[in-house]
Amino acid sequence: MAISDKKNSALSTKKGVVKPHNLFKSSIKKLQKNKAKDISVNDYFKNIVKGDVSYLSRAITLVESQNRNDNKKANKLLEACLPYTQKSVRIGITGVPGVGKSTFIEVFGKQLTKLGKKVAVLAIDPSSSINKGSILGDKTRMENLAKDKMAFIRPSPTGKTLGGVAKSTRESILLCEAAGFDVIIIETVGVGQSETIVHQMVDFFLLLKLAGAGDALQCIKRGIIEMADAIVINKADGGNLHVAQKAKTEFNRALHLYPVKESKWTPKVLLCSALKNEGIKAIWQLLSDYFKLTKNNGYFEHNRKNQNKYWLQDTIKHELLRRFESLPNIKKDFAQQLSDVNHNKTTPFLAAQKLLKKFYKK
């Protein structure tokens, strides 16, 4: 594991900075000498497809950048990398703070690297744009995985809107795939719309839950059960095992209330103890079953195409609205129509129609 960018690296743990793997030491030195702006697209590309994580890390910084020149460079790099992408499986993992996401990803990731798989962990943390924190930053409990040369851990970008984070995470997934990562894990704490966003960029969506502790079924966010391909009840150990088993029955009952998924997959409920490394193998087995089913029945491919369409439309929608709202002849009317809606003088639909009519007359 080698990342030279200390600020963006989950390798700066409480115990100090983890030593990078020897294989990449020389490229780190080179990178430290050359500022990111001096690295050519070709250099990024050549080293990423070789699997050099120091270049991968810098390239992710590039896709996260809001600088126009960086954007141009990032786009060229992404285009070059595209033929090398699509070979991974993408897994979304969500759960409330303290449920054990980091502990789980650490043992789950280690299990996968032992199987010879290269694992990348990326994060979407909407709270980081508010408090400039990072779910994979100082709170990381993934020291062992971070030291593993088969793994790459990237903290959530800070100071960006959720839309911006979604774009850069989608692009980071592609870069990780080009670098040869077999499994890409996207972690989120599930604040605001972040679960929906993660769900739209992964092949499998895993919900981590706790039994008891006020995190019962009724506290679950609406819609999240529908998104989940598996619900894993963590901390099923010690005195908590019994309540965890009860919760499993409760969740299983709840899952039966939902219609059959388009994937034809029946979501499952499993128990695990990330702390004791129990039940983790069964979770990977479950995921493997899912990938086998959906690759055979065509859903895997179909879902990725749908996701591409979603992101294409979503990007256009946001950009069109942003431009529309900033048009000089619309700006004033927009404010007026919004005020009329708020004063109950018109409805949002009528107001939108009026504004659009004005736009098309122009």
**Which residues contribute to the site for ligand GTP (CB under 6 A)?**
95, 97-103, 135, 139, 141, 189, 234-235, 237, 273-275
> Across-strand partners of 16?
13
- Long-range (24+ apart) CB contacts under 8 A made by 259-262 are 261/229, 262/299
Q: How far is the CB of 136 from Mg ion (least distance, A)?
A: 7
* 8 A C-beta contact, residue 28 and residue 22: no
| Cβ-closest position to Mg ion | 102
Q: Which does 128 bind (CB under 5 to 8 A by kind): Mg ion, ligand GTP, none?
A: none
Q: How far is the CB of 42 from ligand GTP (least distance, A)?
A: 38
For ligand GTP, the closer CB: 98 or 223: 98
Count of residues for the chain?
A: 362
Q: How far is the CB of 138 from Mg ion (least distance, A)?
A: 10
Q: Tokens 């789980």 correspond to what residue?
A: 104
Strands (E), the chain: 12-13, 16-17, 89-94, 119-124, 151-153, 183-188, 204-210, 230-234, 268-271
CA separation (Å) from 362 to 320, 327, 356?
16, 11, 10
- In the structure encoding, which two tokens stand for residue 310, read together? 């979603």
For ligand GTP, the closer CB: 220 or 275: 275
* 8 A C-beta contact, residue 167 and residue 310: no
Q: How far is the CB of 305 from ligand GTP (least distance, A)?
A: 32
325 to 354, contacts with Mg ion by CB under 5 A?
none
Q: Which of 94, 102, 128, 234 binds Mg ion (CB under 5 A)?
A: 102
CA separation (Å) from 138 to 24, 64, 96, 126, 135?
24, 20, 18, 16, 8
For ligand GTP, the closer CB: 138 or 319: 138
Q: Which does 189 bind (CB under 5 to 8 A by kind): ligand GTP, Mg ion, none?
A: ligand GTP
Q: Which does 99 bind (CB under 5 to 8 A by kind): Mg ion, ligand GTP, none?
A: ligand GTP
For ligand GTP, the closer CB: 63 or 135: 135
> Across-strand partners of 13?
16
Q: How far is the CB of 187 from Mg ion (least distance, A)?
A: 7
Q: How far is the CB of 100 from Mg ion (least distance, A)?
A: 8
- In the structure encoding, which two tokens stand for residue 144, read together? 């062992």
Q: Which does 275 bind (CB under 5 to 8 A by kind): ligand GTP, Mg ion, none?
A: ligand GTP
> How far is it between the farthest Cα atoms of the chain?
69
Q: How far is the CB of 235 from ligand GTP (least distance, A)?
A: 4
For Mg ion, the closer CB: 41 or 146: 146
Q: Which does 273 bind (CB under 5 to 8 A by kind): Mg ion, ligand GTP, none?
A: ligand GTP
Cα 332 to Cα 327: distance, rounded to the nearest angstrom? 9
For Mg ion, the closer CB: 102 or 294: 102
Q: Count the residues of the shown chain that bind Mg ion, applying the rule CB under 5 A.
A: 2
For Mg ion, the closer CB: 12 or 102: 102
Q: What is the DSSP string of 132-188?
A: ---TTTTT---HHHHH-TTEEE-PPP-S--HHHHHHHHHHHHHHHHHTT-SEEEEEE
**Residues making contact with Mg ion (CB under 5 A):** 101-102
